[in-house]
Structures are given as C-alpha cells and as structure tokens.
C-alpha cells in the first residue's frame, strides 16, 4: 500500500509503497476513505516526538476490508466506519468507564510504532469501531474524532440553558466546542479569535457573537454583550498565559475548561482562583459514548461540521501541504483522500 512516512524533523513526509497491514485476531483492516491532518501531527513531528518511519493519522473513516477471527460476527466487509484511534488494555477502571485515553497502557494509532491512517489501509481494534449511518459522509466521518474531543470538553463544562459561555480560540477544537455548546440551548456563546476568517467560521458554526481580542478588551466586551462575565470559559488555544486570562475573565465560582494543549510550562496566579473560587477542569480525548453522540448529532442534522472542512488533498500534495501548515494560515481541517492522484 501507499503510505506517508515520517522522515525526521525538518524533512518532508515521504510517500512510499510498503507491505499491506494484516489484521490481528481482534482487529479489522479499513480501506481509508479520508484521513484528517491534526495540529498534534504537526506538533509531534516538529519536536521529534515520533521516530523516523512513523505513519501519522488518528482521524479517519473508511470501509472494512478484512476482519480478524475474534471480531467476525460483529462486522462485515464493506461496513462504513470510523474508530477511536486507541489500543487500551480494556480491563482497568478507566477502560471500564470508556476513558480509554486515560488507560495506563493505551497506545494511540499514528504515534510511534502503531501505524496510523495517512495510508491506504489501517489496522484498527474491532472493539473501537463506530458505524457511520448512511447520512454521514466519509468527510464528516473522518472529523468525528476531533469533534469528539470538543464534545467531551463541552460535557466537562456542565452547561445548562442560559449559561454564559466564552470560547477562547477558533481552531478546529474551539470551533467544534462552539458547535456542541450551542446544542445546549445557550443564549450567549461568544468566541474570541484574532483571525477574521476563523471568526467567520465560528459564527457559521454556532457562536452568537465574536470578539477580536487584539482590537477589544475581552472582559469588557463580553460583559457588554452578555450583561455580565462568563459562567464558563473554554480555553482552546494552548499557549502560555491563556489559562490565567481565562481565570481573570470568568465570573466568581465560574468554571474554566482546558482543551487547548499547551506543551510548555505556564505560569498562573493561584490567588486569582482562590479569590473567585474557580473550578478548573482539564479535558482529554473522548469516550465511545462521545463518538456515538457526535455521530448521532451529525446523522440527525443537529450538528453540521461541514464549515470546518477547508480542503481535500491526495498523497501527491500531502508532503508540501503538511509542512506549509506549520505557518499560520486560514485553513481549518484538511482531509487526505488516499485514492486521489
């Protein structure tokens, strides 16, 4: 099969022909229809967190091509699916709760020695598959994984009707937080974002208002819009300083949900949190239930993530486009179609 292979820091991905994967007893082989490029793929390759030879790709949808002995009966060849890109132990307390991403021995597809979906075929754990109803396209199917990250974060926010919400950052995660938060029946859902293109997408996806934090004072403008400070702030950027900013803006006894992945050390003032009795909740990945909820929301038309999709590319364009994404652009979600020449 054809696959995109990591060549090391500062080097382009190489499109190579390698041996097709074979299913282990608990696995199926998917023919990849679409695979998403994620910010974390850029991050791990930039910092050399994955070795040369890695096949990236943890966001994907496709059809079942081969089925391992232990999962026969549950699935048939040709089924359209996506999957949680995890290989957990499946019998610890976290796995019991569906929190596979927190399992001590979990390994993610597309990281290190577990091949991901920047390829024609990918091996997936049968127990992690999620069926795509006929109304859910491979495009949106491949976006279920990043959407489920945001869905999980929204659940961590304990939102109720009338909760005043601020989302900081309108990259794919922040946009999808807006999409699912809006389904909670909110009247005020404000997205703060410096890029005009991304602010436009945020309004399309469910934000009631947008703020450009470079041009306006975030706290003042939010209060002007909502008649008071936010009850819940979702931090969806992940750069130092923004957690403190979220704590400064949120109301007393409010909640901050951290969904932006900041790899660097950050500084914050605990006294801000104490004086306001703030709750801070960090959000990591998703459960199978989150995947099901996202697929259901798309299938029933309650959520339409289509505005997040900016482009579909083939392997020929992938190496150059992947590198180009390292510099800020107006792109949102780019999908790979392995069949495209």
Residue placing its CB nearer to Zn ion in the complex, 40 or 163:
40
Q: Is 211 helix (H, G, I), strand (E, B) or coil?
A: strand
Please compute Rg for the chain using Cα positions: 20
Contact stretch for Zn ion (CB under 5 A) within 30-38, 69-77, 127-135, 302-310: 30-38
Give the nearest distance from C-beta 250 to Zn ion in angstroms.
Answer: 27
Residue placing its CB nearer to Zn ion in the complex, 38 or 109:
38
CB contact at 8 A, 82 and 145: yes
Give the nearest distance from C-beta 280 to Zn ion in angstroms.
Answer: 23
Residue placing its CB nearer to Zn ion in the complex, 87 or 250:
87
- Which residue's structure tokens are 């132990």? 89
What are the residues facing 108 on neighbouring strands? 86
Residue placing its CB nearer to Zn ion in the complex, 117 or 232:
117
Show Cβ contacts of residue 224 under 8 Å, excluding neighbours closer than 6 positions: none
Give the nearest distance from C-beta 286 to Zn ion in angstroms.
Answer: 11
Residues in 63-92 that interact with Zn ion by CB under 5 A: 88-89, 92
Show Cβ contacts of residue 96 under 8 Å, excluding neighbours closer than 6 positions: none
CB contact at 8 A, 305 and 298: yes
Q: Is 21 helix (H, G, I), strand (E, B) or coil?
A: coil
Give the nearest distance from C-beta 195 to Zn ion in angstroms.
Answer: 20
Mark 37-56 with x for binding to Zn ion (rule: CB under 5 A) and - for no binding.
-x------------------
Q: Is 70 exposed, middle or buried (0-12, 13-18, 19+ CB in 10 A)?
A: middle
Indicate which single residue of 55, 64, 81, 103 sits in contact with Zn ion (rule: CB under 5 A): 103
| Closest C-alpha among 6, 33, 12 to residue 312 | 33
Contact stretch for Zn ion (CB under 5 A) within 16-24, 31-39, 68-76, 201-209: 31-39
Residue placing its CB nearer to Zn ion in the complex, 65 or 237:
237
Show Cβ contacts of residue 286 under 8 Å, excluding neighbours closer than 6 positions: 84, 101, 145, 148, 149, 151, 152
Give the nearest distance from C-beta 85 to Zn ion in angstroms.
Answer: 8
**Total interface residues for Zn ion by CB under 5 A:** 6
| Closest C-alpha among 114, 21, 7, 18 to residue 51 | 7
Mark 123-162 with x for binding to Zn ion (rule: CB under 5 A) and - for no binding.
----------------------------------------
Indicate which single residue of 33, 95, 109, 335 sits in contact with Zn ion (rule: CB under 5 A): 95
**Residue 117 touching Zn ion (CB under 5 A):** no
Binding residues vs Zn ion (CB under 5 A) = 38, 88-89, 92, 95, 103
């Amino acid at each position: 099969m054809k696959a995109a292979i990591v060549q090391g820091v500062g080097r382009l991905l190489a499109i190579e022909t390698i041996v097709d994967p074979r299913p282990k007893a608990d696995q199926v082989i998917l023919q990849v229809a679409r695979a998403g490029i994620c910010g974390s793929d850029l991050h791990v390759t930039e910092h050399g967190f994955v070795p040369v030879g890695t096949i990236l790709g943890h966001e994907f949808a496709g059809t079942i091509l081969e089925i391992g002995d232990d999962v026969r009966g549950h699935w048939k060849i040709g089924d359209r699916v996506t999957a949680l890109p995890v290989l957990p132990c499946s019998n610890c307390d976290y796995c019991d709760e569906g929190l596979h991403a927190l399992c001590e021995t979990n390994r993610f597809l597309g990281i290190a020695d577990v091949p991901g979906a920047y390829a024609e075929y990918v091996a997936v754990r049968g127990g992690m598959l999620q069926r795509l109803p006929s109304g859910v396209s491979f495009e949106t199917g491949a976006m279920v994984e990043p959407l489920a990250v945001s869905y999980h974060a929204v659940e961590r926010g304990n939102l109720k009707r009338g909760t005043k919400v601020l989302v900081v950052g309108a990259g794919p995660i922040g946009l999808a937080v807006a999409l699912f938060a809006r389904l909670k029946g909110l009247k005020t859902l404000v997205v703060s974002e410096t890029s005009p293109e991304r602010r436009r997408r945020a309004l399309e996806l469910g934000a009631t208002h947008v703020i450009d934090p470079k041009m306006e004072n975030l706290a003042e403008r939010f209060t002007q819009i909502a008649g008071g400070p936010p009850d819940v702030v979702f931090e969806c950027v992940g750069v130092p300083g923004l957690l403190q900013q979220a704590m400064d803006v949120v109301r007393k006894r409010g909640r901050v949900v951290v969904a932006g992945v900041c790899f660097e050390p950050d500084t914050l003032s605990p006294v801000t949190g104490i004086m306001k009795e703030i709750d801070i909740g960090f959000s990591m990945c998703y459960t199978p239930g989150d995947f099901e909820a996202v697929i259901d929301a798309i299938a029933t038309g309650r959520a339409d993530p289509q505005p997040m999709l900016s482009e579909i590319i083939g392997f020929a364009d992938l190496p150059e486009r992947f590198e180009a994404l390292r510099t800020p652009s107006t792109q949102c979600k780019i999908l790979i179609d392995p069949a495209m020449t």
